[in-house]
Amino acid sequence: MWQAEHVAGLLKSAGLSVDILPVETSGDKKLEVSLAKIGEKGLFTKELETLLQEGKAHLAVHSAKDMPSRLPEGLEIIAFTRRENPADVLVSFRSGAKITDAGIRIGTSSTRRVAMLRRYAPSADSVPVRGNLQTRFRKMQEGACDAMLLARAGVVRMGFDSFITEELPSVSFTPAAGQASLAVEVSQNLPEEIRKAIRDAVNHFPTENAVCAERSFLHRMEGGCSIPVFALCESDPKGNYLLNAGIISPEGDEEIRFQVEIPSADSKNPEAFVLAGQKLAAEVLGDGGASVLQKIKLHFD
């Protein structure tokens, strides 16, 4: 709801009239089963997309990181909100808690985060914890875990940032593609004037380019919630962009990552970002990533 209200605020500021239609998705309901076992295709988007396809809503708002790499036919993403800090953070009621604390039990529903914990913090124990932020904090308070690994953006949005005990470096704990941005999805049948008004009010062009590079990588890697792939495209002070992306095995014992630079001269060329993601995915797959991907699919079958 925070996400929907945030985008509604941007639309209203542009002079548009907005009604919010609350929808509970499958991902919101099936909290006792891991994402990998459910199968992530459309888990957090299907019900919203049905409203778009039936013409009952003009747009749907999603966490960009929850969007499958392939969208249903007839739907498209037309805008990304300005990206917030994309880092993963550790939150805990224990002051000063760190992922390297011996025996610490860390709650997460992400296969990527579990794999990275096994690689970079092998002394930690991962505990499956799902639900919205309020539900997860309640589970932690009840003793399900000592700490949780979450996206900083969501923690800050909900006002829980006082419980952040550690911000993890993106060079190792590289986030999921699209993390910390919101995606606006519409039907391709949406009238052009409405489409343009939404895009003009919501879209942040630099974020769009960066996330499109990440999603281009994700698409080539056939990634989703159950595949531990990661991608982050960020700009430097000179206006160049660096895409850091790769794949990690569920046990954390294999990690293949590459980086590619998008020069400042191409920073206003969307196609350059898409090509960078495709190029990086080809490098990862060709350097052993295809084998890791096959093992991952067998692991979750």
Catalytic residue flag (residue 94):
no
Which one of 215, 225, 233, 266 is the catalytic residue? Answer: 225
Top-confidence residue, 63 or 27: 63
Query: Which residue among 65, 152, 195, 257 is the active-site one?
Result: 65
| Among 83, 88, 112, 215, the one annotated catalytic | 112
User: Is 12 a residue whose pLDDT tops 90?
Assistant: yes
Selecting among 83, 136, 195, 215, the annotated active-site residue is 136
Residue 65 a catalytic site member: yes
Q: Which residues contact 139 (CB under 8 A, 6 or more apart)?
A: 107, 129, 131, 145
Separation between Cα atoms, residue 238 and residue 240, nearest integer Å: 6
pLDDT of residue 225: 61
Q: How far apart are the C-alpha atoms of 199 and 128, rounded to whole Å?
A: 37
Q: Which of 66, 101, 146, 266 is catalytic?
A: 66
What is the Cα–Cα distance from 98 to 173, expressed in whole angstroms?
14
**Domains located in the chain, CATH noted:** 1-82+180-203 (3.40.190.10), 88-167 (3.40.190.10), 205-301 (3.30.160.40)
Q: What is the pTM of this model?
A: 0.91
pLDDT of residue 29: 52
Choose, from 83, 88, 101, 113, the residue flagged as catalytic. Answer: 113
pLDDT at 38: 44
pLDDT higher at 257 or 29? 257
Distance CA 96, CA 33 (A): 30
119 is catalytic: no
> Which pLDDT score, from 0 to 100, does residue 233 have?
98
Check whether 62 has a pLDDT greater than 90: yes
Tokens matching residue 67: 């969007």
Whose tokens are 């794949």? That residue is 247
Mean pLDDT of 86-91: 98
Whether residue 164 contacts residue 155, with contact meaning beta carbons closer than 8 Å, is answered with yes
66 is catalytic: yes
Inter-residue long-range contacts of 54-58, CB under 8 Å, 24+ positions, other chains counted: 55/187, 55/189, 56/21, 57/21, 58/186, 58/190, 58/194, 58/198
- In this prediction, residue 296 has a pLDDT band, given cuts at 50, 70 and 90, of confident
β-partners of residue 234 are 242
Examine the pLDDT at 39 and tell me if it is beyond 80: no
Q: Which of 83, 130, 195, 220 is catalytic?
A: 130
Known active-site residue 253: no
Q: What is the pLDDT of residues 97-142, one digit of tens each?
A: 999 999 999 999 899 999 999 999 999 999 999 888 999 999 999 9
pLDDT higher than threshold 60 for residue 8: yes
Query: Is 136 a catalytic site residue?
Result: yes
User: pLDDT digit string (tens) for 244-258?
Assistant: 999 999 999 999 999
pLDDT tier at 295 (50, 70, 90 boundaries)? Answer: confident
